[in-house]
Amino acid sequence: MKIKLECEIKAHKLGQAKDGTISQLENFYKDIELMVESNNHIPSYPRVITDTWDFNSELGLQLLELYELYKKLKEGN
């Protein structure tokens, strides 16, 4: 997922991006890093995606799926 975020950041810099802003994407990247490092981290990106991104965003849907998996893993610990 981090690679997909990096690709979208690069696309933004080239003027070819579809989703979010560079600062949003960079914050999402940091959120994912914190999710990997700590099972206590509560990422902020799901709310941003659901509140501001296009409902049909493929990247947004993948990020939300990642969050759902993360929540299930946290609940299992």
The pTM assigned to this predicted structure is 0.89
Cα–Cα distances in Å, from 67 out to 12, 13, 17, 40, 58? 23, 26, 22, 13, 14
Q: Give the pLDDT confidence of 20-30 residue by residue, as tens digits.
A: 999 999 999 99
The residue type at 10: K
Q: Rounded CA gap, 64 and 70, in Å?
A: 10
Q: Give the pLDDT confidence of 57-69 residue by residue, as tens digits.
A: 999 999 999 999 9
Beta-strand ranges (E) seen in 2-77 are: none
